[in-house]
Chain A
Amino acid sequence: MKIQPRQVGDVVVLDVDGEILGGPDTEAFDGAVQSALANGGRKVLVNLGGVHWINSTGLGILIAGFTAMQRGGGSLKLVNVSERIAGLLAITRLSTIFQSFQHEDEALRSFD
C-alpha cells in the first residue's frame, strides 16, 4: 500500500494505492492521519480509488483512523469506494459509520 497526502483547501486527501492488508500498512495509514492532526487538520478524506479490495484488518485500519480523527475533534470520510469494498462495508454495517462518496468534489463539499 502506498499513501500520498495532498491538501485541498482545509481537507487533507489521502490517496491510497494498493490493497490495505495490515502489517506495515497500519503504521503508514496511522502515521498519515496523525500527521494531519498534528498539522491542525480536522478533515481527512481517504481516496480509495486505487484500492480494489480490502480485508478485515484493512477495515480495522480505516476504523482506527476514523476514531483518531473523532478523538481529535475532526472527521474522516471515504471517496471512490469500489463496489467490492462497498459490499464489505455494508455487510459489516460499517456503512453506517463511514460516509462514502463517489466523487471527490461532492465529498469535499460535505465537510462544509
Chain B
Amino acid sequence: MADTHRDAIELRLPSELRYLSIVDAVTQAIVRDLDWDADAAGNFSTAVIEAAANAIEHGNGLAAGKSVAVRFRVHPGSVEVDIDDEGSGFDPRPYERELTTEDLLRPRGRGIFIMRSFMDRMEFQRLPSGGMRVRLAKNVASVTKPGGNAG
C-alpha cells in the first residue's frame, strides 16, 4: 500500500555550480528509495540539475550570499521538486519551444527543453520575494522497475 505520509526534503545551496553534485546525490538517493529504474532516475536528476544550475547561474547570477532552495516532495503517484532562486525573475516563454536544426550547434539555450523532455510537468512561478520557482514533477507509474514499489 502506498505510504501517503512523506516528509519534504529540502536543500539550501550557495550559488556555486560545484554544489550541483550534491543535488544529484540527493535526487538519486530519493528515487532509488522509490525503486525507479536507472534510466528514469538519471533523467529525473538531469532535469533537477538543469533547474538548479539555471537558478544558480541565471537566477542568482552566481552571487555570493544568494542561495538556491531545492525541495522534494514524494506523493503516492508522483515526485515533485521546487527549485527557488533569489534573483529578479525572468520570462520563460522565449525558451519554451522545440529545438530546431539551427539550434543544434548553439552552445546555450537547451536547458528548459531538457527539463520539459524529462519531466511530466514543468511550471514557472514568480515568488513574492521577486525570485523564480521552477516546479518539476514526474509521475511514478512510468518509471518504476517491474514488480517494484511504486512509492
Contact = CB atoms under 8 A, between A and B. Distances in A.
Interface of A: 19, 21-23, 53, 55-57, 59-61, 63-64, 66-67, 83-84, 87-88, 91-94, 96-97
Return the 9 tightest CB-CB contacts between A and B, nearest first: A60-B107, A84-B42, A56-B111, A21-B17, A56-B110, A91-B117, A23-B17, A55-B53, A64-B107
At the interface, is chain A mostly helix, strand, loop or mixed?
helix
Interface of B: 17-18, 20-21, 24, 38-39, 42-43, 45-46, 49-50, 53, 57, 62, 99, 104-108, 110-111, 113-114, 117-118
Contact of B105 (A19, A22, A23, A67): A67
A91 B46 CA distance: 12
B114 A97 contact: no
A97 B101 CA distance: 11
At the interface, is chain B mostly helix, strand, loop or mixed?
helix
A63 B38 CA distance: 26
Given A53-B46, A56-B53, A83-B39, 4 more contacts: A56-B50, A57-B111, A84-B42, A84-B43
